Structure 1
Amino acid sequence: MGTDALTEEQQTHFLEHGWVHLPGAIPEKNIRRYTQDVWIRTGYDPLDSGTWAEEKFRMPRHKEMLWKEFAPKGYGAICDILGGEDRLDPTIFNKAGDSLIANFGKEEYRDVMCTGKAGDMFICHGFMLHSASKNHLRIPRFITSPKFVLKDPFNYNRENLKDYSLLELKTLKELGVSYLPDWKFIGQRARFNPDNNVKKDSRLPFELERLKAHASKTGGIIDSIHVISIAEYNGWTEDRIAQGEVIPV
């Protein structure tokens, strides 16, 4: 049911460790487009770390592309891990946006090597413990942590072993069982709005102001879905801004 994007070795690695590294999963041209205006949006000077007022923060979305176009290799791998593209809900979170997580570090963080290159993807099991790392080198980092939604919940009691996704198989492996005979989904699925989304989207008016000022000064264009007005993406944006306090950033 997958796309055969992952090699047998990569599938085995995911089942053993719960994550897989995909070098060059995002084409360079897409990386350039999604990062070319980050300094304008933040209002920071890339050559003056003294202007980097915040160590780490989330940025709102201005650009978006279908995941299968933004990162074909990465999207294929995600489909493999989730059991096939047909299991994904195509009505939500189907686009990759530039809602970047910016990490500028602090002056006291020094002398620690950094791994990973632009365009690499790390796909991790959703139940794996993880946290943000400190930016010791103070070389600005921009990552994104997207979501994918399944049409149906995980199923740990499938009749056919071949129907299990790699994600489900990894969960069962760590539980030490081949299936859960009494497993059934009885709750109601619902969407929720994380608190950090409100703060992230409160940055939109200020980023737009900077982008427009830069375009006016240079004669360039504003590459943003919000040029005319705040546009909804995934049906949340306007509600999120309405719920949260819009504060200068």
Structure 2
Amino acid sequence: MPNSSPALSLAQIDHFITDGFVRIDNAFSRELAEAGRAILWADTGCDPHDPSTWTKPVIRLNQYGQPPFRDAANTPVLRAAFDQLVGPDRWLPRGTLGTFPVRFPSPDDPGDAGWHIDVSFGLENPDFMAWRANVASRDRALLMLFLFSDVGDEDAPTRIRVGSHLDIARQLAPAGDAGLSLRELAANGFAETAHCLEVLATGPAGTVYLCHPFLVHAAQPHHGTTPRFMAQPPLTPAQPLSLNRPDGDYSPVEAAIRFALPTT
């Protein structure tokens, strides 16, 4: 059943289509963020009060389904936003929040700060560079960034190339259903999106960025003082996205791809 109260304005939906993302403040509570951080801190093996224990630039933690995470992923405002961006009954609720790349203040290169998109199928291949995406965004309806800590400009915020999802849609279109591998997409270092304005995914704990699955983004080193906790799960479609709906009932995710491909 559709959520009765819209979370996003028409202007925000237009922003999503043209720019590739929308920011939702207070998408989940600071209390949930704090409860989640307590669990994550314990699993890092680091002492939150002793920076001498923060010896790595990034520690990756995976698949947390405890109540703080499950509740954060399923707030009424987020469920309403999913309905608006993907379509009622076209997405699957999250039971976990995917991977947490916990980033620590460090002079060392984290080794994962290249521009990319999150590819979505062929994940059974042990070579992650062979994982794929196609123009209909098979198996991924949204990329989501859940901020579980306050994130300022120096706190390793995710870098976003505004409008880059349109370039990627045009790149993927000729490849059809088979799509392209991450290796093929990254062959030129995503130079076709270098013209895009770069913005940072900053905000207080409880902020969520809902991003088009083709949005080009990148990590960066942490130059601040407080570790950054962020989840980056996909929203999985309940049915395949379609760029040719007989009834014309396109979601904003689909409309953005069609906008990039005016002959579609």
After superposition, the Cα gap between the structure-2 partners of 1:75 and 1:62, relative to the gap in structure 1 and judged at 3 Å, is same
**What's the TM-score once normalised by structure 2's chain length?**
0.58
Distance 2:52 2:11 in 1: 45
Q: How far apart are residue 160 of structure 1 and its match?
A: 2.0
Other-structure match for 2:96:
96
* Corresponding residue of 2:87: 83
2:250 corresponding residue in structure 1 = 164
Greater strand fraction, Structure 1 or Structure 2: 2
Shift of 1:130: 1.1
**Structure 1: any 5+ residue segments left out of the alignment?**
181-249
Higher relative contact order structure (alpha carbons within 8 Å, sequence separation ≥ 6): 2
CA distance, structure 1, for counterparts of residue 65 and residue 95 of structure 2: 9
Question: What does the per-residue CA deviation read over 1:173-219, in whole Å, with 9 as the maximum and x for residues that have no partner?
Answer: 11224xx3xxxxxxxxxxxxxxxxxxxxxxxxxxxxxxxxxxxxxxx
Structure 1 position 78, deviation (Å): 2.1
Deviations 1:49-83 (A, max 9, x none): 22112211221345434468743212321221111
For 1:186-225, what aligned pairs fall within 5 Å after superposition? none
Partners of 2:154 and 2:222 within 8 A in 1: no
Contact 1:61/1:99 (8 A) holds in 2: yes
* Contact 1:27-1:71 within 8 A present in 2 as well: no
Tell me, yes or no, if structure 1 residue 16 matches structure 2 residue 18: yes
1:118 to 200, 205, 221: 205
Aligned counterparts, 1:9-158, within 5 A: 9-65=11-67, 66=70, 70-84=74-88, 86-89=89-92, 94-97=94-97, 99-107=99-107, 113=154, 115-158=202-245
Give yes or no for contact 1:106–1:138 (8 Å, CA) kept in 2: no
Against the structure 1 CA distance between its residues 137 and 8, is the aligned structure 2 distance closer, same or farther, given a 3 Å change threshold? Answer: same
User: For the structure 1 residues 97 and 154, does the alpha-carbon distance in structure 2 shift closer, same or farther, using more than 3 Å as the test?
Assistant: closer
**Distance (whole Å) between structure 2 residues aligned to residue 96 and residue 89 of structure 1:** 12
Cα 1:137–1:73, aligned 2, differ >3 Å: closer, same or farther? same
Larger fraction in helix: 1
> How far off its partner does 1:33 sit?
1.7
Q: Which residue identity does 2:212 align to in structure 1?
A: H
CA distance in 2, matches of 1:172, 1:55: 39
The two structures have a TM-score, normalised by structure 1, of 0.61
Residue deviations 1:32-59 (CA, integer Å, cap 9, x gap): 2211233322221223322112211221
- Distance, in Å, in 2 between the alignment partners of 1:47 and 1:107 is 19
Matches of 2:250 and 2:244 in 1, distance apart?
A: 9
Among all aligned residue pairs of Structure 1 and Structure 2, give the percentage whose two residues are the same amino acid: 27
Provide the residue aligned with 1:219 in structure 2. Answer: none
Aligned pair in 2 of structure 1 residues 129, 147: CA closer, same or farther (>3 Å)? same
**Secondary structure of the equivalent of 2:28?**
coil
**Closer, same or farther: CA 31–103 of 1 in aligned 2, 3 Å:** same
- Structure of greater Rg: 1
- SS in structure 2 of the partner of residue 140 of structure 1: coil
Equivalent pairs, count: 172
Whole-Å separation in 2 of the counterparts to 1:75 and 1:88: 10
User: SS at 2:209's partner residue?
Assistant: strand
Distance 1:149 1:108 in 2: 34
> Match for 1:147: what amino acid?
P
RMSD, matched Cα: 2.6
Tell me if structure 1 keeps the 8 A contact 2:44–2:59: no
Whole-Å separation in 2 of the counterparts to 1:69 and 1:145:
11
